[in-house]
Structure 1
């Protein structure tokens, strides 16, 4: 599996992975750091994140458990270089992302906000 920066042409595939409209995924690619996992010339997952106020915020993570494990390395590596924490909100229930967060050393720190009525769990990894 290779990981690379996302480009606008990836928006259709990102939309397929999330069920979101293509224009939303195009905006995501423009507005955030987005890294895609590619296996056999096909995008199999992605992570998006941004950094503000000494924290890297993972805004989306999609893929299989192994893909999520690999993709979480991207914002964690960035945060370590910049001496920042990383926060991740995991929609309930999403055991694949919870497992990836646990594997990466994140701590569950409480409940997160509701997104479209779906509860989330907040995870944090301090530098």
Structure 2
């Protein structure tokens, strides 16, 4: 499954507020999910039902800066190996306990990196503009 370049998409699979029964949502043959350039995406599934992703191996997440969690509910993905965070399929997968924890960890790492970049710029970047190197 690939969803790409949809700036306004906030959720891939939404559960309506009027639905109160608990269900299992099955994607039994889905082995890869590719989420690419979805700047407003906050999660894959907004409901709290169980997602059965029995064949899911990898999720590719690229340029989805607002994705904080994969799903509010339980995720059953026994074969999940990790998240690919670049377009290079040979790069190592990012994995941290399970799919939800991995997405949360990725988001936190992204926020930390952004904070460190801003901190570096304000502490060193302004001074670096006035720094010159003299070659002898």
Do the two structures share a fold, i.e. TM-score over 0.5? no
TM-score by length of 2: 0.28
Structure label with greater radius of gyration: 2
More strand by share: 1
TM-score by length of 1: 0.30
